[in-house]
Amino acid sequence: MSSADQNASNIASPVKKVLIFGTFDLLHAGHENMIKQARELGNHIIAVIARDETVRKIKGTLPYNHEKQRAKNLKNTGLVDKVVTGSTGNKYDIVRKLRPDVIALGYDQFAFTLGLEKLIIDEKMEAEIHRLKAFKPQIYKSSILRAGLVNQEILPRKLANIYQQNDDSLLIQQPGAFTQVL
């Protein structure tokens, strides 16, 4: 290898920040897939955790885990480079502050997304907006998993049958720990 080739390989690639948003309450393979898709768009993933009050307004119920616990749990997975909580005021403030290169939206994220293009133009940002693909949404959807947690006896049996059929495993995040079902 020539010295020019060595120098070129030693130069770090520029940071390409990708911003993802979510509640990230009951972490599961759908979240992992979302983050992997985001990682294909850039090399520095920043996850914005929805505030408890925002979740209640959008979903009509509080998350299973409070925002600090959800942030800690996501950070502890090692899947993202940085975890921040969203704004309690203007939901676009975090985008203005972080100025990402890419905004990666989940397949089912529509709250607060309509004004993103205008924000990018108004703030003279060069960010791209990408809509990520669903990953088995009939299985890996937090609202489905949360509903199943109401009846602890039914959830493990139902998931066991689904995961045996799909050769998958599920990580359900409990407060302070992860429990693998099959």
Distance CA 34, CA 150 (A): 25
Q: Where are the beta strands (DSSP E) in 4-79?
A: 17-22, 44-49
Within a 10 A sphere around the Cβ of 175, how many other Cβ atoms?
A: 10
pLDDT at 29: 81
Pick the CATH number of 15-135 from 2.60.40.10, 3.40.50.620, 3.40.50.720, 3.40.50.11390: 3.40.50.620
Name 141's Cβ contacts closer than 8 Å, sequence gap at least 6.
Answer: 30, 108
Q: Is the pLDDT of residue 31 over 60?
A: yes
Kindly report, residue by residue over 42-88, the tens digit of the pLDDT: 999 999 999 999 989 888 888 888 999 999 999 999 999 999 999 88
pLDDT at 134: 81
Q: Which two tokens stand for residue 19?
A: 């911003």
Length of the chain: 182
Residue 43 half-sphere exposure toward CB, CA atoms < 13 A: 5
Q: Measured at the alpha carbon of residue 86, what is the angle toward residues 84 and 88, in degrees to the nearest 5? A: 140
pLDDT at 127: 94
pLDDT at 34: 92
pLDDT at 109: 81
Kindly report, residue by residue over 120-168, the tens digit of the pLDDT: 999 999 999 999 888 766 665 665 556 555 444 444 444 444 444 444 4
Q: pTM of the prediction?
A: 0.71
Cβ atoms of 41 and 77 within 8 Å: the answer is no
Kindly report, residue by residue over 5-17, the tens digit of the pLDDT: 444 445 677 999 9
DSSP symbols for 149-180: HHSTTHHHHHHHHHHHHHT--EEEEETTEEEE
Kindly report, residue by residue over 81-114, the tens digit of the pLDDT: 999 999 888 889 999 999 999 999 988 787 777 7
Q: What three-state secondary structure class fits 137?
A: coil
Q: Which two tokens stand for residue 43?
A: 């090399």
